[in-house]
Amino acid sequence: MSLKFKDQPSSSTASPTEWNAIWKLEIPEKVKVFMWRAAQDLLPTAGNLWKRKALHDPWCPRCGKKGENVFHALIKCKFSQKVWNQTKFKEDLEGMENQDMFTAMKAIAEKRNTRDVALFVSLCWAIWHSRNLFIFERRKEDPRLPVARAEATMEVYRKVKVPQMQAESRQKSNNEQTWKPPPEGYVKVNTDAAIYMEEQKVGLGIIIRDSKGDFVAAAMKTSKFIDNIAYAEAEAIHLGMNVAEAVASGPVIVESDCSEVVNQILGRTGSNLELLWIISDIQKQMQRVKDIKMLFTPRICNGAAHDLAKMALKVNDYVQWVGTCLPHLLYLFS
């Protein structure tokens, strides 16, 4: 496997419960995943790329200061400061020293309500977006734009997603179209693959959550696309089960939105030739777990895994995890 691990994230002291603070914010999944990466020092800043020898120097591409780390890019850079100066967070951030983004978010949460924390996170996301526009498209944005973008993102989420979620929870008893946590004692592994045809690449994403819906672990990686979408979906299940074996000791439910692969794994239909090896490998993995269920789930209930799979395509080679899972994962992929 061609997986690389980053250095130990500077914020690994945060407990899984603390990490859930990010996952429970009322903002789009992509913004949550962004913050999670930022907090684990997994953003491709100049400093991080330099450490991985992917860049010659670690200087900030925007202001030229030495060492662009996540905190600099999102908070202290000259451009970021111009953005923050227009917001209510100006004073909160003034005295803040270089630190990991989880600690920064916690400091905001101590002074302000959850909605403000969500806005803070959205602003970080919008600043990062603006930074990337500058680097990759040489577009200089007015600092008011990220503020507007963050506010609009929250507004859309509040107007569209929150009523949708409320309606979904009202209909839960007769409507299956939503992700559901596993029963008490179980963990649920959602897996998905995303294809990038032009580069013949697939992104694999998996996320593991417990019966409270709390986040347990997640991973993503890229793989070669071998002209078979079902194969990529099987690879995602394989990855999900590897991670589940490492982080969970109890019963497991695995969900994939590819019924073709699920049926082959369960022996409901014969495996096609290309998938034969990987399907039998997954079946062996299943035998090692005492209590395991393999289920098909509609795409609409598999959103988090789908987002991770799509992101894997951009991140290449990165595997992500949550604090305490790290040693197991290192063992698993070494």
**Alpha helix positions (H), the chain:** 16-23, 29-39, 46-51, 70-71, 78-84, 90-94, 101-111, 114-137, 144-156, 162-170, 229-247, 259-265, 276-288, 303-315, 326-333
Q: Residues near 29 by Cβ (< 8 Å), separated by ≥ 6?
A: 303, 304, 307
Segment interacting with Zn ion (CB under 5 A) among 53-61, 148-156, 244-252, 269-277 = 53-61
Residue 126 neighbours by CB distance under 10 Å: 24
Query: Which H or E run contains 296?
Result: strand 292-296
Segment interacting with Zn ion (CB under 5 A) among 76-84, 104-112, 136-144, 251-259 = 76-84
Of 65 and 129, nearer to Zn ion (C-beta) is 65
Is 63 an interacting residue with respect to Zn ion (CB under 5 A)?
Answer: yes
Is 83 an interacting residue with respect to Zn ion (CB under 5 A)?
Answer: no
Go through 186-221 and write b for each residue having 16 or more CB atoms within 10 A of its CB, e for each that does not: bbbbbbbbbbeeeeebbbbbbbbbbeeeebbbbbbb
Is 27 an interacting residue with respect to Zn ion (CB under 5 A)?
Answer: no
Is 60 an interacting residue with respect to Zn ion (CB under 5 A)?
Answer: yes
Size of the site for Zn ion (CB under 5 A): 5
Task: Output the smallest distance, CB 87 to Zn ion, in A.
Answer: 18
At residue 218, φ and ψ (nearest 5 deg) are -155, 155
Task: Output the smallest distance, CB 86 to Zn ion, in A.
Answer: 18
Is 131 an interacting residue with respect to Zn ion (CB under 5 A)?
Answer: no
Is 134 an interacting residue with respect to Zn ion (CB under 5 A)?
Answer: no
Of 63 and 107, nearer to Zn ion (C-beta) is 63
- Identify residue 252 by its one-letter amino acid code: V
Segment interacting with Zn ion (CB under 5 A) among 11-19, 23-31, 63-71, 267-275 = 63-71
- The single residue among 32, 37, 62, 306 that binds Zn ion, judged by CB under 5 A, is 62
Query: HSE on the CB side for 242, CA within 13 Å?
Result: 24
| H helix and E strand count, the chain | 15, 5
Q: What 3-state DSSP class applies to 18?
A: helix
CB 211 within 8 A of CB 186: yes
Is 216 an interacting residue with respect to Zn ion (CB under 5 A)?
Answer: no
Task: Output the smallest distance, CB 33 to Zn ion, in A.
Answer: 24
Spacing of C-alpha 44 from chain mean position: 14
Of 61 and 303, nearer to Zn ion (C-beta) is 61
Of 51 and 238, nearer to Zn ion (C-beta) is 51
- The single residue among 22, 33, 77, 313 that binds Zn ion, judged by CB under 5 A, is 77
Is 304 an interacting residue with respect to Zn ion (CB under 5 A)?
Answer: no
Segment interacting with Zn ion (CB under 5 A) among 65-73, 117-125, 181-189, 196-204 = 65-73
Task: Output the smallest distance, CB 75 to Zn ion, in A.
Answer: 10
Task: Output the smallest distance, CB 58 to Zn ion, in A.
Answer: 11
CB 302 within 8 A of CB 192: yes
Whole-Å CA distances, 157 to 102, 154, 160, 213, 319: 23, 5, 5, 20, 28
Of 80 and 285, nearer to Zn ion (C-beta) is 80
Segment interacting with Zn ion (CB under 5 A) among 72-80, 138-146, 159-167, 289-297 = 72-80
* Contact residues for Zn ion, defined by CB under 5 A: 60, 62-63, 65, 77
